[in-house]
Amino acid sequence: GIFVLGLPYALLHSGYSGLFLIIVAAVLCCYTGKILIACLYEENEDGQLIRVRDTYEDIANACCKKLFPRLGGIVVNVTQMMELIMTCILYLVVSGNLLSHSFPSIPVTEKTWSVIAFVTLLPCVFIKTLKIVSKLSQLCSLVHFIIILVVMTYCLTQTHRWSWAKFRLSIEFEDFLVSVGVIIFSYTSQVFLPTLEGNMKNPEEFRCMLNWTHFFACVLKSAFALSTFLTWGEETKEVVTDNLPSFLQALVNLCLLTKALLSYPLPFFAATEIAFACISRGNHARYRSPLFALSVRGSLLLLTLLMAVFVPHFALLMGLTGSVTGAAMTFLLPSLFHLKLKWKKLTFLEKCADISVFILGFLCSLAGIFCSIKGLLEIFG
């Protein structure tokens, strides 16, 4: 995702440990993805695994069914919706920013550009299946590879500027925490995994798919972050494409705009599916109503625009929300649910791994909350 463009800046503040974090984050996110999907299955009398749950919500309800049958699902749904809606809003904010930088001569504010970008997303209200979203995501991936290729090709022409001396041996704690957040959240995908696995033609290949995608993501991110940081060193900006010369920057900004707009449908589709399930529970006829579906999608679409335009300091607020929801959905809940549902069947090492991931997720969440609140307090004086 767009978080990848912040990896060189994260490397600037984390030094050699940043490269190690990119690898560790890939391993941990791959692991929590697997244990989350494992919670969807139970063994039957013949020892065969049967998919008895369909969503993240079903897993949460199964864990809380003895004390609070619906509480787990409500918490998960609220958390998922917050993260997904915030992600959609981020893409609108980023689109407005990119358009304003691409056409600086036009006297239009970033918020107005965000509204213009929003107009191109109106067809999202007609998306009904994950198949359409997957096609858009394929185009998004293609654009993403073009961006990475352009930036890395330029960096390879600047190898005479490379120096390992640019890496920092000593790091500041708060800067390091910011780097941890950027690196970890560049891998997060747990919100989409139950739906993705359920729609696969061959679900038994899910674990293999997860291994390979995280492996290639790790290699690509390491190579990208390393080559770009060695090129610009201390001058590396928060979004590394801002370091490019002007003739390349305009091209890359337009590619980034395309990527942001193509990225929007996936979290938006996931958010609408959760909204449908919550609003129309027990009323399936209403769920199938085209007018009802359009009204829900339209309302969510409008909500993302209003928040993108009218909420001040959205980036910091998203950092605060992401520290809570991102860490919870990626580390805390998968490990907690796995321990709860599979405790009797887990080995000692598996239990230790789940507990370690839970503690790590809790610490990451606290650190992110601390940094975000501190940033908000500094702005509000």
User: Of the ranges 13-17, 211-215, 285-289, 306-310, which is most confident?
Assistant: 211-215
Q: Which of 23, 322, 53 is nearest to 181 (CA)?
A: 322
Residue 188 has pLDDT above 70, yes or no: yes
Query: Is residue 262 very low, low, confident or very high in pLDDT (cuts 50, 70, 90)?
Result: very high
Domain count within the chain: 1
Rounded CA gap, 346 and 79, in Å? 27
Closest CA to 261 of 112, 142, 100, 88: 88
Burial 258-292 (b: 16+ CB within 10 A, else e): bbbbbbbbbbbbbbbbbbbeeebeeeeeeeeeeeb
Assess whether pLDDT exceeds 70 at residue 309: yes
Predicted local distance difference test score (pLDDT) of residue 1: 64
- For residue 10, the domain's CATH number is 1.20.1740.10
Residues 326-333, mean pLDDT to the nearest whole number: 84
Q: pTM of the entire structure?
A: 0.83
What's the token pair of residue 41? 């299955």
Beta bridge mates, 41: 51
The answer to whether residue 67 scores a pLDDT higher than 80 is no
Tell me: the pLDDT tens digits for 97-106? 888 877 888 8
> pLDDT tier at 320 (50, 70, 90 boundaries)?
low
Average pLDDT score over residue span 15-42 = 91
The arithmetic mean of pLDDT across residues 319-334, rounded, is 77
Q: Which three-class secondary structure state does DSSP give residue 265?
A: helix
**pLDDT exceeds 80 at position 142:** yes
**What confidence score (pLDDT) does residue 214 get?**
94
Does the pLDDT value for residue 283 go beyond 80? no
Residue-range definition of the domain harbouring residue 270: 3-380
Mean pLDDT of the chain: 84
Closest CA to 58 of 219, 185, 197, 180: 197
pLDDT at 200: 86
pLDDT of residue 316 exceeding 70: no
Q: Which of 190-194, 295-299, 368-372 has the least mean pLDDT?
A: 368-372
Q: Which of 337, 338, 340, 268 is nearest to 304 (CA)?
A: 268
